[in-house]
Amino acid sequence: MFKEITPDKLDKNLISMIRDEWALISAGNEEKFNMMTASWGFFGEMWNKDCVICAVRPQRYTFEFMEANDTFALCFLGDNKTPHKVCGSMSGRDVDKAAETGLKPVFADGTVYFEQSETVIICKKLYADFLHEDKFCDPSPLGCYKGDFHKMYVGEILKVLVKE
């Protein structure tokens, strides 16, 4: 069971959550959905709204769902990294990640998240664009790429759900 809180009442460090716990970025509906592991991202204030920024490469299956849907979720599983072994290494094009991991989908608020999550952040897309090589002020991050730049999605935080 989840309870809804405002983003400012989350008692965890958001930087530690994304860096150490990792998240599942999930999008889709009851007919079709996918999720992927993410260990990069941002949380803060943008355009007078509480927001997240997440990064998805175009070759990821989740990219299709991010593009096709107005909402998405960031699902934090706490210390449980077992689902990330599947969601960070296998494509939803080839396997049913929910079946492989035992994650139980919850379809609500225009997106999908997972019953096993400790924290869920439901977001509405506000802006999206690809990173561009010629816009890097410091070229050192370019080593992370082989021409497959992330698309950055700015999402307004609509709800924060925490496990009761």
Q: 3-class DSSP state for residue 113?
A: strand
- Residue ranges covered by each domain of the chain: 2-163
The overall average pLDDT reported for the chain is 96
What pLDDT, in 10s, does the model give residues 4-55? 999 999 999 999 999 999 999 999 999 999 999 999 999 999 999 999 999 9
Alpha-carbon separation of residue 100 from 75, 90, 95, 108, 132 (angstroms): 17, 10, 7, 22, 35
103 neighbors 115 (Cβ within 8 angstroms): yes
Does the pLDDT at position 120 exceed 90? yes
Q: What type of residue is 156?
A: E
State the pLDDT confidence band at 147, using cuts at 50, 70 and 90: confident
pTM of the model: 0.96
Which CATH fold would you assign to the domain 2-163?
Pnp Oxidase; Chain A (2.30.110)
